[in-house]
C-alpha cells in the first residue's frame, strides 16, 4: 500500500507535465483505435461472409453479365443447394451525393441464403407479394427517414429511366457485423421493365449467388461450375463470398497499408514523447533513488518505482483514449454515412489499444529504470549537492 501511494504521489508531483503527457497518450491511443476501426470497416464485408455461399460471375469482368439460363445449369452442379440471380442497379436517389448499394435480387432464394437479414413475417410476406416492393436496411432507412409504405424514387443510370419502389420492410442485422445500408428489390421487376424497354439486355444477371450444401467442398464445387461453362460464350469465375469481397478490398490495398502504417507511427511518436518525460523524471530524482539505496533498498526496487509510474501514466492515458474512441467512432460513422456500412470498435481493437498503451509505458521506462538501478549512491547524493 505504501509503495502504491508513493508511486501515485510521484506520478502527480509535476501535475502539468503529467496531464500534458497523459493528454498526448489519450490522443495517440484514440487515433490508433479509430484508424484500426477504419481498417476493420474495410474488411467488414469479407469478415461477415458465409463459407457456404459462392459467387459466380463473368471471368472477364463484373461489367459483363451472364445469361439467366445459367441459373438452371448451376442448380444441376453437384453440391449446389440453391441459386439466386443478382444485378447491381446503381440508381440515384434525389442527388448523386446520396449513394447507397442497390441490388435487384431473386428474393425468395436470396433471402433464404441470407438469414442474417432479419425481417418480420409480415414485412417478408408483403415484400415477396409485391413485384414493385423493396426492403432497406435499418441504417439506410434511418439516414433518409424512410418508413414502411413510403415510395422510393430512383433515377436509373445503368438501367435508364425513372423507377419507383414501395418500401415493404426494413431489415435488421442479426448482429452488428451485418450491413444495414443496402436497398433490395425484385429482379423480376427489373427484368420485365428492361425486356419492354431494351429487349437485348433482358434475361441477364450480373452475378449468381450459389448456396452449397457443404462449405468444405467450396473449392471442388467452384471448379465444377467453371468447368461446366468453359469454352462457352460467357465463361465464369466462381469463388467464395469472402474471396469475392476481398477482390474489392485489394483494389485499395495501398491505402489500407498506409492507414495501418500511420496507426503504428502514432504509437511510436507518443512512445518517444513519454520516454523523454520519464527520462526527465528519473534525472530529477537521482538523489532520492540514491537515498533509497543507502537505506538498503535494491536497484530492482528503484527500477520498479520508475516502471510502475510509467505504467500508471500509460494506463491512465490508454483507458481514457479507449473511452474516447467510442464517441469518435460514432461521429465518424455518422459523417461517412453508407461509405462504411459496418463501423464499430471491435474487442480486438480495444485489446490492441490497451496493449499499445502498456508497451509504451514499458518502453518509455526501460532506459531510465536501467540507469536508476545502476546509479551509485555517492553519485546520486552528489547530484543533490
pLDDT at residue number 6:
65
pLDDT at residue number 333:
85
User: 33: closest CA among 264, 272, 314, 363?
Assistant: 264
pLDDT at residue number 385:
46
SS3 of 169, please? Answer: strand
> How many C-alpha atoms does 89 have within 13 Å on its Cβ side?
32
**Separation between Cα atoms, residue 179 and residue 168, nearest integer Å:** 18
The pLDDT tens digits for 246-293 are 888 877 778 888 988 999 999 999 988 888 888 887 777 767 677 777
Residue labelled with grid coordinates 464445387: 221
DSSP class of residue 174 equals: S
Residue labelled with grid coordinates 460471375: 57
Cβ neighbors of 175 (< 8 A, separation 6 or more) are 116
Q: How many CB atoms lie within 10 A of CB 191?
A: 20
Q: How many CB atoms lie within 10 A of CB 351?
A: 11
Residue labelled with grid coordinates 460464350: 233
pLDDT at residue number 375:
72
**Separation between Cα atoms, residue 384 and residue 285, nearest integer Å:** 9
The two beta strands, 133-137 and 161-173, are parallel
The pLDDT tens digits for 139-165 are 999 999 999 999 999 998 888 889 999
DSSP class of residue 92 equals: B
End-to-end CA distance of the chain: 31
DSSP class of residue 13 equals: S
**Separation between Cα atoms, residue 10 and residue 14, nearest integer Å:** 8
Residue labelled with grid coordinates 439466386: 84
Cβ neighbors of 309 (< 8 A, separation 6 or more) are 7, 10, 11, 278, 281, 365
CB of 57 within 8 A of CB of 198? no
> Dihedral sign, CA of 212, 133, 96, 63?
positive
Flag residues of the chain having pLDDT under 50. 385
pLDDT at residue number 285:
72
Q: What is the largest CA-CA distance in the chain?
A: 97
pTM, whole model, 2 decimals? 0.83
Domain extents in the chain: 2-44+252-384, 60-234
Amino acid at each position: 500500500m505504501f509503495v502504491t501511494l508513493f508511486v501515485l504521489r510521484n506520478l502527480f508531483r509535476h501535475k502539468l507535465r503529467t496531464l500534458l503527457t497523459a493528454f498526448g497518450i489519450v490522443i495517440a491511443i484514440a487515433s490508433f483505435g479509430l484508424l484500426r476501426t477504419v481498417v476493420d470497416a474495410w474488411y467488414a464485408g469479407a469478415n461477415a461472409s458465409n463459407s457456404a455461399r459462392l459467387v459466380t460471375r463473368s471471368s472477364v469482368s463484373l461489367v459483363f453479365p451472364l445469361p439467366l439460363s445459367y441459373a438452371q445449369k448451376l442448380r444441376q452442379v453437384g453440391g449446389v443447394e440453391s441459386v439466386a440471380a443478382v444485378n447491381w442497379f446503381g440508381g440515384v436517389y434525389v442527388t448523386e451525393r446520396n449513394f447507397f448499394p442497390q441490388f435487384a435480387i431473386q428474393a425468395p432464394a436470396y433471402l433464404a441464403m441470407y438469414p442474417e437479414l432479419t425481417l418480420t413475417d409480415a414485412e417478408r410476406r408483403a415484400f415477396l407479394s409485391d413485384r414493385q416492393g423493396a426492403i432497406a436496411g435499418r441504417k439506410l432507412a434511418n439516414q433518409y427517414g424512410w418508413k414502411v409504405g413510403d415510395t422510393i424514387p430512383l433515377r436509373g443510370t445503368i438501367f435508364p429511366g425513372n423507377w419507383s419502389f414501395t418500401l415493404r420492410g426494413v431489415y435488421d442485422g442479426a448482429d452488428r457485423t451485418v450491413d444495414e445500408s443496402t436497398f433490395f428489390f425484385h429482379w423480376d421487376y427489373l427484368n420485365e421493365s428492361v425486356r419492354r424497354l431494351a429487349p437485348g439486355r433482358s434475361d441477364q444477371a450480373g452475378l449468381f449467388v450459389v448456396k452449397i450444401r457443404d462449405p468444405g467442398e467450396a473449392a471442388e464445387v467452384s471448379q465444377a461450375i467453371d468447368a461446366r461453362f468453359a469454352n462457352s460464350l460467357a465463361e465464369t469465375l466462381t469463388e467464395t463470398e469472402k474471396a469475392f469481397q476481398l477482390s474489392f478490398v485489394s483494389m485499395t490495398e495501398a491505402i489500407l497499408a498506409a492507414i495501418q502504417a500511420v496507426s503504428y507511427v502514432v504509437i511510436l511518436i507518443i512512445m518517444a514523447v513519454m520516454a523523454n518525460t520519464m527520462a526527465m523524471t528519473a534525472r530529477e530524482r537521482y538523489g532520492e533513488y540514491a537515498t533509497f539505496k543507502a537505506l538498503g533498498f535494491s536497484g530492482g526496487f528503484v527500477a520498479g518505482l520508475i516502471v510502475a509510474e510509467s505504467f500508471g501514466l500509460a494506463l491512465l492515458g490508454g483507458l481514457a483514449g479507449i473511452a474516447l474512441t467510442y464517441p469518435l467512432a460514432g461521429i465518424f460513422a455518422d459523417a461517412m454515412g453508407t461509405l462504411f456500412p459496418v463501423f464499430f470498435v471491435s474487442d480486438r481493437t480495444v485489446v490492441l489499444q490497451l496493449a499499445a498503451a502498456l508497451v509504451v509505458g514499458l518502453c518509455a521506462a526501460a532506459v531510465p529504470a536501467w540507469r536508476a538501478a545502476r546509479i551509485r549512491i555517492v553519485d546520486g547524493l552528489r547530484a543533490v549537492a
